[in-house]
Amino acid sequence: MGTSKDLLPHSFLKMRRSRSTTVHCSLFTINCSSRFLYEKMNYINIGNVKIKQTAALAPMAGIADTAFRTVMKRFGAAYCVGEMASCKGLCYSDRKTAELLTLTDIERPAAIQLFGCEPEFAAKSVEIAERYRPDIIDLNAGCPVPKVAGNGAGSALMKDPILFGEMVSAIVSAAHVPVTVKIRAGWDAEHINAREIAHIAEECGAAAVAVHARTKTQMYSGNADWDIISAVKQAVSIPVIGNGDVDSVEKCEAMYRETGCDLVMIARGAYGDPWLFRDIDDYYEGRPIQPPPTLAERLSVMREHIELLTKCKGESVGMREARAQAAFYLKGMPNAAKYRGMCGRLSKLDDLYELIGVVERANRADTAFVPVGDR
């Protein structure tokens, strides 16, 4: 089943229970009836890869690149998945596609995610992807964007279970590391088939399945239906990774409790908020949840993140991509509209330092603000 839940000795349980009946943090108080607080920190195994049972960073093309993943991992993300790379693009030696595969050691355990719909290309691309030493290879069967799903890949694979099975089998046969699959609830409300697809994945040798609990036609709107994650969990015996709408410690705990999933995965909740992973890690380690970051801490991590981005991609490309990242870190601050304008004009590192100076002069460094809409 991939999980081990060794209970701690009774005396330790009593101590932990009395010490932490409630966990206080800035915005809410969690009633710690959670099984997790009374148990030793758990790990799950995906194949031979051991992953802490806290929260993983989901793949996000154009957002969760090496710099983003490095920052999130440093703050406690248990596992991360790289941006999707095209099987065909890799086979045709597309330099840009290959750049997506680079993983640094701090990111580990980490997966490379592939998308495609031709089993022969998929198998060949695994050979190329493995040169980058991923711990896991993940097949994208959930992407809804026309460029991917419109060509038969991503979520379109869920409409063609036979091809889906062939894709999983081809990747599993070619791979020397565990293979996982990321799926959605189904194509649309009339075609919810996550259980069947997860079952096929398991039969074809997948070591885990991640479920984004929305249909393809929902894209990213509406609420994720966590009942789908529970249904998948009951249908397969490989680990199930739950995904959709987790942006707080409270919701992370709720997803574990309500779905029985083996690992929670977070995408948009991580925008400008590596502290979310710190708080989740603290919570499951039984440590008190820390206050939200001060403005000084927030600006310092933003600076570190964007400097790393420019190191990875060069100043010109890095600063263009930094515009979105900086806006995430500053979202919800007083004068956010003005700062957003400055974020949109970032093109050199000096522009970033100027932005930081402007924000610092207008606000007290020890202010601990929580961005509106986050948490």
Ligand X SMILES: Cc1cc2nc3c(=O)[nH]c(=O)nc-3n(C[C@H](O)[C@H](O)[C@H](O)COP(=O)(O)O)c2cc1C
For residues 65 and 359, which CB has a smaller minimum distance to ligand X in the complex? 65
For residues 231 and 266, which CB has a smaller minimum distance to ligand X in the complex? 266
Distance of CA 289 to CAs 193, 269, 298, 325, Å?
38, 17, 17, 25
Part in contact with ligand X (CB under 6 A); list of ranges 43-51, 58-66, 91-99, 124-132: 58-66
> Least distance to ligand X from the beta carbon of 356, Å?
25
Contact set for ligand X, span 141-160 (CB under 6 A): 142-143
CA distance 207 to 209: 7
241 scored as a contact of ligand X (CB under 6 A): no
Contact set for ligand X, span 79-138 (CB under 6 A): 83-84, 113
Part in contact with ligand X (CB under 6 A); list of ranges 52-60, 284-292, 294-302, 307-315: 52-60
Q: Which of 117, 143, 204, 312 is catalytic?
A: 143
Residue 143 falls in the annotated catalytic set: yes
For residues 2 and 244, which CB has a smaller minimum distance to ligand X in the complex? 244
Among 116, 239, 242, 269, binds ligand X (CB under 6 A): 269
Q: Contacts with ligand X: how many residues (CB under 6 A)?
A: 23
Part in contact with ligand X (CB under 6 A); list of ranges 20-28, 139-147, 303-311, 352-360: 139-147
Among 86, 97, 140, 325, binds ligand X (CB under 6 A): 140
323 scored as a contact of ligand X (CB under 6 A): no
Residues assigned a catalytic role: 143
Residues at the site binding ligand X, with contacts judged by CB under 6 A: 58-63, 83-84, 113, 140, 142-143, 182, 212, 220, 243-246, 266-269
